[in-house]
Amino acid sequence: MITMDLEAQKRAAAARALEFVRPGMRLGLGSGSTAKHFVELLAQRVRTGLEVIAVPTSEATRSDAERLGIALTNLDEAPELDLTVDGADEIAPDLSLIKGGGGALLREKIVASASLRMIVIADESKWVSSLGRFPLPVEVVPFGLAATRRAVEAAAADMGCAGPALLRRAKDGHAFVTDGGHWILDAAFERIPDPRSLAERLDGIAGVIEHGLFVGLAHAARELLLALGLAFAVGAGAAAQQPSANAIATAKEVITAKGAGALYSPLVSGVIERTKTVLLQSNPMLGKDLNEVAAKLHAEYASRSAEILTEVAKLYASRFTEQELKDTLAFYKSPLGRKLVAEEPIILDQSMKTAQTWAEGFSQEIMSKIRGEMKKRGHDI
């Protein structure tokens, strides 16, 4: 059920992003499961007469777009794009992103930087209080891998990021190869305290081609918009089942009790700081005034985070009865529920590291097994 809900959110976010597309636009087409929804919906519009031309960010997206009849070009022929629509693996309150889970981070960043506007489409699971739980992809050249990996881990450690950088492997056990012919290190840092500083350190490492930290993207793309499946799924659910005020209030308590409210409270301050940073980049002499204005806005808009909590509560209230919400709240207020809230983040972080370590060992086992079986058939690979 959760997967279906998230897929519905992705589809709704893609549909919302499609509303920004106008005839004659030069589009950047993102990669990944959420962006795939946008490509499919765009193709439907193209079949009804919409004329656009697009630059894909991966060979997989290129294949989908060609199959669906979307006209394609490249950045040599269209060096400036009107709009790019792409997904994200994590979105922090300051709108910094982790991307590259599908391996297309280099082309995604190039296309985003060439765009006048970018829309990031995502479901609610991609919002995090700080980046890092999703392993950070770092695209590297194969030559000197061990030295590059050591440098990446050392730079991260200096930035307060602990965790290994593991070589991503394909299904056959060999190193995953990007569309550009590079390899990827997935860095399990758990938490990245200062994404901008880490990005700068990674940029300076010989052997690193690109990384999945999209910091300052709003400035690079001139305008960053977020089409959240969550917001539009809420609207659709409310139309089908109008939740009562009591149900919404109980849902708010559930969200707070399970600790999820902490994900939304930093959004207001994050947006203010992100906007201030963008303006500072083009107006460095106005730092004092911009800081004072930002401080004023922090105080003025602090209560606005409650609006986000209300919208999320409506989502819960449209999918659970009031009694179910009360039962859920009772659980989270119980000793066992409080223990779950306290321990689950730690378990999730540790389980991710455990799974990655296990997968790397298992891939070697499978590689050995396949080679052994192939050798029996006369193939020494």
Residues with catalytic roles: 108
Sequence-separated (6 or more) residues with CB below 8 Å from residue 242:
none
Structure tokens at 109: 């960043």
* Structure letter (DSSP) for residue 366: H
Identify each DSSP E strand in the chain by its residue range. 26-29, 53-56, 83-86, 90-91, 97-98, 118-122, 136-140, 165-167, 183-187, 208-211, 213-214, 224-228
Residue 363 is encoded by which pair of tokens? 């891939």
Contacts of 235 (CB under 8 A, 6+ apart): none
CA 249 to each of CA 210, 270, 325: distance values in angstroms, whole numbers, following the listed order: 45, 26, 10
On whether the CB atoms of residues 120 and 202 are closer than 8 A, the answer is no
DSSP-assigned beta bridge partners for residue 78: none
3-state secondary structure 150-174: HHHHHHHHHCCCCCCEEECECCCCC
Radius of gyration of the chain (CA): 22
Q: ∠ CA 264-35-201 to the nearest 5 degrees?
A: 65
Closest CA to 185 of 294, 105, 93, 243: 105
User: Which one, of 130, 79, 114, lies nearest residue 217 by Cα?
Assistant: 114
Residue 12 structure tokens: 């709704």
What distance in Å separates the CA atoms of residue 11 and residue 132, rounded to the nearest whole number? 25
